[in-house]
Structure 1
Amino acid sequence: MGQRLLQLEQWVTSLVASKKVPFGKRWVITPVSGDASFRRYFRLTNEDRSWILVDAPPEKEDSTSFVEVARTWLDSGIPVPEVIHVDFSQGFMLLEDFGDSLLFGELSAQSVDGLYTAAMDALLAIQHVGNGGLPQYDEPLLRREMSLFTEWFIGQLLKRQLCEKEQKMLDDLFAVLVSSALEQPVVTVHRDFHSRNLMCLAEGRLGIIDFQDAVAGPITYDLVSLLKDCYVAWPSEQVVGWVSAYRIKAQQRGVLDKSVTDAAFLRWFDFMGLQRHIKVLGIFSRLDIRDGKAAYLEDIPRVLSYVLEGLHRYSEQYAECAAVERWLREQIVPSMKKLDCFKDVQL
């Protein structure tokens, strides 16, 4: 038994002794999952109930922000798990159990419209919550995220060194993407609002998890996370339709000014998607190389396809998009295919 799991069991035993939670005497802890961070999740069950235990090592993870966001959102009617007990010094939390039914596993061509409508309604509710006190999704953060692409995807995974011309080309694109993000209305942003962080609950409700990185930022960020999901893709025409429907709802609910046109909102959405997916290419590469989580490499082709699609849509209007699209297709895709894990990928 690992030292952290032993400490977690001792913490549960102390909660039992204090009678703070009705675990009873016959309880058991079983692993549920890890995620892309250093957090691990366990299910605590007794004869008739279950809870979720979170192991978030305090030297690696900040549980304070998770608890603050959880309590604020729950008080605002957002369906997030109740934080029942927390030990910040050890990095342990006891949460309400939302079960095992991820939105990801429920998606199909037949179900996606209804499920995404529910998810977009939940997102609008989040965007209504005040974002005072949340970190700002500002220019330094936007640029720092995109630098992960250069460092981990280009440098570490593909073993390429950018020349001065290539770096300038990327910097020019990044400037366009940052400008687009900063001109958008600022709302509460979950920052990882996708099918593996949404749970299907009873009576068709959706539960929201993994929200500890919430910030105050661009209105389209979470919409991109949902509709251009790194783990599942839908036809471009369908995505554009959902974006348009969301714009109308956001305007009706006062989240978005009525003067914002369909074309302007779609451009915000697409450029936000480019920023996010450029970052994710770096993150997925880092998860493989640094953290030994090779499964994320399987999702890189899908994410790169989003980037190519977004660049191509604006290649005639923006020289920065055209230049990077050409570079990716002519230089980077061939470099990828030299790696065994990507040799059969079609892009």
Structure 2
Amino acid sequence: MTGMVLECFLADEAATARLGEDLAMALRAGDAVALKGDLGAGKSTLARALIRALADDANLEVPSPTFTLVQSYETRVPVHHFDLYRLSAPDELDELGLDDALTQGTALIEWPERAGDRLPANALWVDLAEHGEGRVARLSGQGPAYDRAARSLAMRDFLASAGWGKASRRHFVGDASARSYEIVSLPGEPPGVLMNSPRLVLGPPVRDGKPYAVIAHTAQSVAAFVAIDKALLANGVSVPVIHAQDLDQGFLLLEHLGSEGFLSGDGQPIAERYQAAAELLAMMHGKAWPERMEAAPGVFHDVPPFDRDAMLIEADLLVDWYVPWITGEAPSDALRAGYHKQWNAVLDRLAGSEYTLMLRDFHSPNIIWRAERSGLDRLGIVDVQDALIGPAAYDVASLAMDARVTVSPEIERRTVAAYVAARHAAGPFDEAAFAEAYAIMATQRNSKILGIFVRLEKRDGKPYYLKHLPRIRDYLRRALAHPALASLKEFYMAHGLLEERLP
């Protein structure tokens, strides 16, 4: 077996169970975990903890598959627990369905040495052996499964350095990036959120020798989140308190703001909550924000501008992905040139618009409703690392035309009206200029989202995003109704970009 090797000491049964949790947090469909060790080495303890963590059920019955040979569980990542002790020959693995198990989920394999050479080359091997009063776990392998497991163990070490080494870990949520989040629980403490934010991997150059993420100013390290979070907190915005941080590795231990969102039980937007969020934006937009923010002593984050290059490359996602999807062919050079000409003329109209700290994804998935609080403190804000200095209208459009839920024209109107009223109440406010910038930013954002949702299906294999496309087209039609966008609207209509399409 070649590849990387990692060893850790397990002082007792609880430590062995925590290793099972740590591995569970790292597993993805297609992973195989080969679990070695003599009788009594702790394989059952580790396997039981791993499966219970995937199921988020500390009391789940996990019988040994010694006699059934395989036991399957419908967990977050389906897990198939194999015990090959009674296997007569490696060929019997075909009858047990190992290949199918890896297609559907992950495989946890005890007595893997009986499989001969039938296990995947990229399997993660975990070898348990007694060591004094405890055990040593030796992890080895090569490829993504090993890398994720090693990072998960580093996260446990980070928790230990913060006094949370014995915390239980459960998957919370992942987002569209490589970031992921866990709920960590420790007796006597409120639950926390463990944020895993590896440094952004830049893609290939796409324009002027620069990757997309550089042009669009996507946050490249967790220092961006820390700096912006601290600045928001200092200015009265309810964002998570950071209990511990490791900027080099990209780990944060955060306050858990809660789980209640902006939608009713049947998934409908609650108008009053959207209005409250608009009033929070109005408060934020009345403040002066520095462009350089401190993440740690001597570590600063320079908040990038939402400049023309960033706006255009985002809008180009419509041409790059959505146009080929609706036409069945690559966009012509003439279409691209016309699109850029129209957009450059529109963006010229932003000259003189109000610019401020723009959170970029200010919409329902990133806003927590805390009914027990009062005033603006009822709103907990997460996912702030990609903030820019940009038009104040952008976040209002992001909220009032929520990409993940259908906001009716009436709720949109009430949300925008709440923002405008709060701005007027705070002092002089150019409502007409805001309305034009709102229409421009809503059009830019929804054009981008049409492209992103098609890309998620075509490139990333996530077809369930296509169901959102009719909503996004409706938002585009609303935004393009502003007189300042008449020429751009004509262009969209001439090329069928607003027509209803069946995914």
Q: Does 1:322 align with 2:481?
A: no
Looking at secondary structure, tell me which structure has more strand per residue.
2
SS at match of 2:350: helix
* Structure-1 separation of matches of 2:304 and 2:484: 35
Aligned length: 325
Moved more, 133-142 or 314-323: 314-323
Residues 1:181 and 1:281: Cα distance change in structure 2 (over 3 Å): farther
Residues 1:288 and 1:158: Cα distance change in structure 2 (over 3 Å): farther
Moved more, 205-214 or 39-48: 39-48
Superposed displacement of residue 59, structure 1? 4.1
Name structure 2 gaps, 5 residues minimum.
1-22, 27-146, 202-219, 293-302
Superposed displacement of residue 179, structure 1? 2.2
Moved more, 240-249 or 131-140: 240-249
SS at match of 1:102: coil
- Summarize the alignment of residues 60-139 of structure 1 with structure 2, pairs less than 5 Å apart: 60=201, 61-105=220-264, 112-127=270-285, 128-133=287-292, 134-139=303-308
Aligned residue for 1:153?
A: 322
Superposed displacement of residue 71, structure 1? 1.0
Residues 1:154 and 1:46: Cα distance change in structure 2 (over 3 Å): same
Residues 1:33 and 1:316: Cα distance change in structure 2 (over 3 Å): closer
Moved more, 276-285 or 118-127: 118-127
Superposed displacement of residue 158, structure 1? 5.3
Taking every aligned residue pair, what percent have the same amino acid on both sides? 27
Aligned residue for 1:230?
A: 403
Larger Rg, first or second structure (1 or 2): 2
Aligned residue for 2:199?
A: 58
Aligned residue for 2:440?
A: 271
Residues 1:101 and 1:126: Cα distance change in structure 2 (over 3 Å): same
SS at match of 1:11: helix
Contact 1:316–1:322 (CA under 8 A) maintained in structure 2: no
Q: Does 1:7 align with 2:148?
A: no
- Summarize the alignment of residues 240-279 of structure 1 with structure 2, pairs less than 5 Å apart: 240-254=413-427, 257-258=428-429, 260-261=430-431, 263-279=432-448
The letter of the residue matching 2:487 is A
Name structure 1 gaps, 5 residues minimum.
343-347
Aligned residue for 2:383?
A: 210
Q: CA-atom RMSD, angstroms?
A: 2.6
Contact 1:69–1:214 (CA under 8 A) maintained in structure 2: yes
SS at match of 1:230: coil
The letter of the residue matching 2:199 is P
Aligned residue for 1:288?
A: 457
Residues 1:96 and 1:323: Cα distance change in structure 2 (over 3 Å): same
Contact 1:135–1:216 (CA under 8 A) maintained in structure 2: yes
Q: Normalising to structure 1: TM-score of the pair? A: 0.84
The letter of the residue matching 2:262 is L
The letter of the residue matching 2:403 is C
Residues 1:287 and 1:105: Cα distance change in structure 2 (over 3 Å): farther
The letter of the residue matching 2:436 is R
Deviations 1:11-51 (A, max 9, x none): 334543x4x33x374x2101011111111111111224311
Residues 1:15 and 1:235: Cα distance change in structure 2 (over 3 Å): closer
Aligned residue for 1:345?
A: none
Contact 2:346–2:485 (CA under 8 A) maintained in structure 1: no
* Structure-1 separation of matches of 2:264 and 2:327: 32
SS at match of 2:252: strand
